[in-house]
């Protein structure tokens, strides 16, 4: 690799490694800052709902997981707290799947292996000077703070609990979600392939309930999930630890800029370093990979005489991605606020709205295709 790379990427998660692979394909020299693996790391129970646009992006870098690690979702069922319901179907949309539930450890392993075989990517332990630094460190990014970029944050009065379950009944490739009268949101996402009996759990609960739920043993916690889901998948058994994290709506006040004290070098933020939203719509990583696709497009299609750090290029990226994030974040925040209101009138209105939306025809189809990344 050249003494000075074209781009330094800080953060070697899914967003950072995918970006590195896309840029290397265009013969850009990339330094990827990767922390050493921790020997005391706890099992990763995360699973992401990835849409068609995200799948196409990962297929471009040959990192789409094998079928058992990327379960196609043929239907989605969303239940309100007073009989309201919305159902989505891949058949109705004339597509193979609405989205895919992807095992995070498998995807991360494939990205690590792909990076290891790419000659134009150099793994480094510390940041190195480059015309452009891309920050992909996640919502707790230290680099963003060092750059003096504010991260405007609104905390939701909820925490997410994630785990995995073995189920008595097959999931039948259906993703299910419940909004409860207490303001909690439970999602059961199909795992382990089309015939699987395993689901990923994302349970957004009020903060005051978190200590009680974490204190339950596995059998008692599974019993709570059985009750919350109405026993739709039969008996439930925990097969992984529980992870939890606070939920928030946040965005960086600037997504691009000049490096302090280095006017010839620039930075750009991508993924959770630039934004965060409620997981109820499962769009967080889809938006982050949208950042990757747009930034890679802007950089690889630039004229040869332009530096990767030219602000005119980076402003194009910022405008495009802020608009997409704003649309999705406003939608998820509105849903969270609507279902967080305990008043009887609000409950009646939101459930009436769900039932009306379910038969709305073109509007429902349009919203579905936006979520699928095909609109």
Predicted TM-score of the model (pTM): 0.91
The CA-atom distances, in angstroms, between 53 and each of 38, 308, 356 are: 32, 24, 28
Fold of 7-154+247-372: FAD/NAD(P)-binding domain (3.50.50)
Do 314 and 266 meet the contact criterion of CB atoms below 8 Å apart?
yes
Instruction: Find out whether 204 and 244 touch, Cβ atoms under 8 Å.
Output: no
- Residue spans of the domains in the chain: they are 7-154+247-372
CB-neighbour burial class of residue 118 (10 A; exposed 0-12, middle 13-18, buried 19+):
middle
Please report the pLDDT score of residue 356 as a whole number.
73
Condensed to tens digits (0 to 9), the pLDDT of residues 300-349 reads 999 888 999 999 999 999 999 998 888 888 888 777 776 666 666 666 66
Q: What is the mean pLDDT of each run of 10 residues along the chain (375 residues)?
A: 85 97 96 80 88 96 95 92 81 92 96 95 95 96 95 93 97 93 90 96 94 97 96 96 94 95 93 91 90 96 91 95 88 74 66 69 71 68
Would you state the structure tokens that stand for residue 330, as one six-digit string? 């406003």
Q: CA 195, 199, 205: angle at the middle one, nearest 5?
A: 160
Pairing of strands 47-50, 70-73: unpaired
Cα separation, 224 vs 359, in Å, equals 32
- Can you tell me the distance from the alpha carbon of 158 to that of 287, in angstroms, rounded to the nearest whole number? 22
pLDDT at residue 363, as a whole number: 65
Residue 181 is predicted with a pLDDT of: 78
**pLDDT reported for residue 375:** 64
pLDDT of residue 151: 96
At residue 167, the pLDDT reads: 98
Measured in whole angstroms, how far is the alpha carbon of residue 7 from the centre of its chain?
24
């Amino acid at each position: 690799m050249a003494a000075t790379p074209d781009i330094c990427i800080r953060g070697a998660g899914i967003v950072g490694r995918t970006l590195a692979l896309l840029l290397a394909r265009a013969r850009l020299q990339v330094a990827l800052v990767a922390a050493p693996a921790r020997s005391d790391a706890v099992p990763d129970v995360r699973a992401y709902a990835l849409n068609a646009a995200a799948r196409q992006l990962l297929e471009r870098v040959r990192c789409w997981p094998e079928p058992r690690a990327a379960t196609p979702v043929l239907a989605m069922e969303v239940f309100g707290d007073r009989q309201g319901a919305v159902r989505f179907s891949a058949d109705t949309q004339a597509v193979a799947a609405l989205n895919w539930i992807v095992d995070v450890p498998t995807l991360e392993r494939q990205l690590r292996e792909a990076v290891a075989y790419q000659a134009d990517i150099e793994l480094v332990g510390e940041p190195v000077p480059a015309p452009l630094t891309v920050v992909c460190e996640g919502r707790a990014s230290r680099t963003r703070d060092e750059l003096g970029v504010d991260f405007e944050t609104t905390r939701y009065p909820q925490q997410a609990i994630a785990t995995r379950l073995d189920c008595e009944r097959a999931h039948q490739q259906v993703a299910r979600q419940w909004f409860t009268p207490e303001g909690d949101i439970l999602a059961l996402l199909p795992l382990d392939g089309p015939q699987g009996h395993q689901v990923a759990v994302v349970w957004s609960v009020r903060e005051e309930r978190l200590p009680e739920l974490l204190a339950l043993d596995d059998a008692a916690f599974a019993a709570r999930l059985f009750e919350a889901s109405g026993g739709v998948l039969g008996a439930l058994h925990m097969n992984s630890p529980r992870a939890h994290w606070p939920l928030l709506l946040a965005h960086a006040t600037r997504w691009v800029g000049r490096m302090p004290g280095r006017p010839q070098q620039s930075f750009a933020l991508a993924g959770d370093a630039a934004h965060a939203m409620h997981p109820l719509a499962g769009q967080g990583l889809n938006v982050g990979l949208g950042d990757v696709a747009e930034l890679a497009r802007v950089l690889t299609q630039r004229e040869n005489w332009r530096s990767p750090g030219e602000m005119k290029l980076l402003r194009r990226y910022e405008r495009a991605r802020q608009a997409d994030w704003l649309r999705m974040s406003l939608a998820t925040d509105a849903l969270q606020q609507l279902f967080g209101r305990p008043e009887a009138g609000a409950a009646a209105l939101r459930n009436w709205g769900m039932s009306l939306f379910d038969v709305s025809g073109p509007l429902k189809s349009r919203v579905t295709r936006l979520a699928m990344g095909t609109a």
